[in-house]
Amino acid sequence: MTIYKAPLDDQRFALFDVLGADAVLTKLTGGDGHTRDLLDAVLEEAGRLSEAVLAPFNASGDEEGCHFDKATHTVTTPKGFKEAFKAFAEGGWTGLTQAEHFGGQALPNVVGTATTEIFQSGNLSWSLYPLLSEGACHAMEIHGTEEQQHTYLKPIVEGRWTGTMCLTEPQAGSDLGLLKTRAEAGENGSWKITGTKIFISAGEHDLAENIIHLVLARLPDAPAGSRGISMFIVPKFKVNADGSLGARNSVAAGAIEHKMGLRGSATCVMNFDAAEGYLIGQPHKGLAAMFTMMNAARLGVGVQGLALSERALQNSTNYARERLQGRALSGPKFPEKPADNLMVQPDVRRMLLTQRSIVEACRTLLLYTSLQTDVEARAADEAVRKEAGELVAFLIPIAKGVVTELAQECTKEALQVYGGHGYIAENGVEQFVRDARIITLYEGTTGIQAADLLGRKILQLQGAGFKLFLQEIQAFCQQHAQDVALASLIGPLAKHAKEWADLTLALAKRVMANPEELGAAAMDYLYYSGYITLAYMWARSVAALANSSQQEAFKQAKRDSATFYFARILPRSLTHKAAIEAGADTIPAIA
């Protein structure tokens, strides 16, 4: 059985000491009330809910899984899920960051990111049900009509209904240009949606009265490929003019997947048989509308990686403190006991510090990126909003791709600390390893994130966000060039920043000469960029210690983690740099 304690001190440090989120937020439009006291209170309450309500049935939900009834096409979630969702909705969490005129609390996205981490660490399978609703709400807020927002968005914000994203089809995978789901004209401006979607998280469940599917499909006159995709609102139950539920729509789950992890989350095959739907946004512009949801979803998946890594770290640290086994290489440290604890072993400390240095830097990165989404949405100055948007676009593939990949390492190291006991289901840590496997795949595999970073954010957009981020790092290094407390960090960071710029320019020239260089270098470029980005987050964190009110033990732990990261994790970037420079010729054609 595993434990979980919300890491509020670490979150507060990252939010307020490192990022100065309270000062940033109160200057944004509508941000007068977003004070540190308010945000702190929200974090405290989220911690209580996750620790007391969500975390206790994380293991049992995994063991029980979801139940699918083939006769009725219904899904029953594990014990505790339904009651927890009711408590979640009654607490106002379903509308935490949604606009007040939709019934939400209009709190900043960065607070939503912090609370989402807490909920997902408590119970990731359960957390996927409300998570998909956030993306659906965002898409309807941006692209929906006022009537659609009133009819479909407000009940989701209230927690009475939930939402999904229905993109993938059996023959299409990530190539959405191959979608076959079709839309034919119906009555009174409606459309009849027919097709099959797969891998639909929360496509069917028993937590809410209704489920609102946002579905990609083709109109009869649609051009071929991705330019011919439209987006439709398709409710599980039709909605009457007064907002009450009507007849069951002709959309149903055909099956649920039998998965390696996240077994408490229903991943469904959804069949649409001339289901009544309504166009949202412009015809043939559905892919752009769906990407409104996708960016937020990708950041959310990065948070899942952090959440699993945090819980794995907590449990492997506790285990290492308690487990008595062997003696220190330099002699017994606890001679009065039959053996020393695992903490005396340098390799165990290496595994724990690897987790810790990754977790804490990733948390700062995710909160930094989320804070930029608030600036993009609500800064008074248009130029400031534009730059924030460019930063977000650049950082999203790193925040999703690198953080989720590093979650594989963190959960693996946690299991390794347990040794053979980690492989045993009763101890709980193997669940984190299994749950983490999917997060590198959905909302775009790591390869897709890498291609997005290099192909789109660097080449197509001419590195707009990259240039801003690099300038920020360089300015930070110049500002702290004479700071003795940062002496061991600033030099390496400045050197890596310059190399990053030079490598990117050289790589762009190679891709222009040979497009195959993009695919050959993209994955290594993603990792390379990620390691330097996390190094910057650590340098900022150590700089923030000078004015932090945290206890000295807390501060020393941060310094230790930063030192470890720069000495043992950041050098990995050199391997990726060498691989990039090796070129496409080192990946020959194979049959």
Q: No. of H helices and E strands in the chain?
A: 20, 11
Angle at 177 between CA 305 and CA 527, to 5 degrees: 30
Residue 269, strand partner residues: 255
- Token code pair at residue 27: 């200057």
- Token code pair at residue 171: 């023959």
CA-to-CA distance for 84 and 367, rounded, in angstroms? 26
- Token code pair at residue 591: 């049959």
Residue 472 CB-half CA count within 13 A: 16
CA-to-CA distance for 526 and 531, rounded, in angstroms? 9
Residue 365 CB-half CA count within 13 A: 34
Count of residues making up the chain? 591
SS (H, E, C) 533-568: HHHHHHHHHHHHHHHCCCCHHHHHHHHHHHHHHHHH
* Amino acid at the residue 407: A
Nearest to 277 by CA among 209, 194, 196, 210: 194
Burial of 444 (0-12, 13-18, 19+ CB in 10 A): buried
- Asked if 177 and 225 touch (Cβ cutoff 8 Å), the reply is yes
Show Cβ contacts of residue 584 under 8 Å, excluding neighbours closer than 6 positions: 514, 516, 517, 519, 520, 521
SS (H, E, C) 185-248: ECCCCCEEEEEEEEEEECCCCCCCCEEEEEEEEECCCCCCHHHHCEEEEEECEEECCCCCEEEE
CA-to-CA distance for 76 and 262, rounded, in angstroms? 15
Going by DSSP bridges, is the β-strand pair 245-248/237-239 parallel, antiparallel, or unpaired?
A: antiparallel
Q: Which listed residue (257, 376, 430, 443) is catalytic? A: 443
Centre a 10 Å sphere on the Cβ of residue 498 and count the other Cβ atoms it contains: 14
Active site residue 443: yes
- Token code pair at residue 430: 């193997």
Only one residue has tokens 């975390």, namely 55
CA-to-CA distance for 332 and 358, rounded, in angstroms? 30
Q: How close are the terminal C-alpha atoms of the chain, in Å? A: 47
What is the set of active-site residues?
Answer: 443
